Amino acid sequence: MDRRHTVGKGVSQQPTLTIPTPSKRLIIGIGLAIILIAAMALIAVTIALTTSSPATDTAAVANVQEPAVANTDQQVSPNGVQAQTSEPTGDFTRPADAVRIGEFLITVNSVSTPSGINPPEAHLKYVVIELSVQNVGTSSSTIRDIDDFTLFDSDGVRASALVGGDAESDALGELGKRLRGEYPRVEPGQTLGRVMVFKILKDTKPARLEFSSLDTGASGTIPLK
């Protein structure tokens, strides 16, 4: 017996495993599927966030506090601190002789020439004017006596005013002490009393008082009787 022939018949051949190579079309299809899935996931996340945002906005609005509003007895200063205003003055009654100029009601209470008191200038005389200023506006204002008020005599000449605190004012005794030389503030609803002393020619009369507020710019004329 031939040995080579026997061996050849006893050996079986193993099958060869062949892995098919994916086609280019299949690769493109898989890529497109992945992109589509990612896009759908992104859309789903966007919809979820958009749906939940109104609730978040509502909660945020609910947590916003309304700004504090001052009541009628309080005034809010520029730095946000509430300051107490003056107490209400009650019913409003306009003085009979009051003159309205801007946010002020000005009433001349008396015009007089003091007897026995003469200025250093022999040709002049003193005129004492007592008046009240009521603030009928909504904000406080400063009253500056000799800056806001000007007296004119019957010749139309502007009178000079005593400023207070000088030797001539001191020579007037108690009257001179009333010339404060201050710049007080008058709050809304308040009334401020003032005394002013002017000098005019002896043969003239006080004719009118001009008021011009440096604070508000309001100006007007107050006739003198």
DSSP labels, 82-108:
EEE-PPP--S----TT-EEETTEEEEE
Query: How far apart, in whole angstroms, are the C-alpha atoms of residue 97 and residue 105?
Result: 10
Domain ranges in the chain are 96-223
Task: Quick: pLDDT tens for 16-35.
Answer: 555 556 677 777 878 788 88
Q: Tokens in use for 70?
A: 């001052």
**Number of DSSP helices (H) and strands (E) in the chain, helices first:** 5, 12
Q: Cα dihedral sign for 98, 110, 197, 182?
A: negative
Q: Which of 147, 125, 138, 18 shows the shortest CA–CA distance to 70?
A: 138
Q: Which residues contact 52 (CB under 8 A, 6 or more apart)?
A: none
> d(Cα 92, Cα 98) in Å, to the nearest integer?
13
Summarize the confidence of residues 62-73 as an average pLDDT: 39
Structure pTM? 0.58
CATH top-level class of 96-223 = mainly beta
pLDDT above 90: percentage of residues in the chain: 39
The pLDDT of residue 78:
32
Higher pLDDT, 43 or 23: 43
Question: Concatenated DSSP letters for 132-157?
Answer: EEEE-SSS-EE--HHHHEEEEETTSP
> Mind listing the pLDDT tens digit for each residue in 124-175?
999 999 999 999 999 999 998 888 999 999 999 999 988 887 888 888 888 8
Measured from the Cβ of residue 207, the count of other Cβ atoms closer than 10 Å reads 17
Q: In whole angstroms, give the CA distance from residue 90 to residue 65.
A: 35
Pair 184, 143: CB distance under 8 Å: yes
Summarize pLDDT for 80-106 with one digit per residue, the tens: 333 223 343 556 778 888 999 999 999
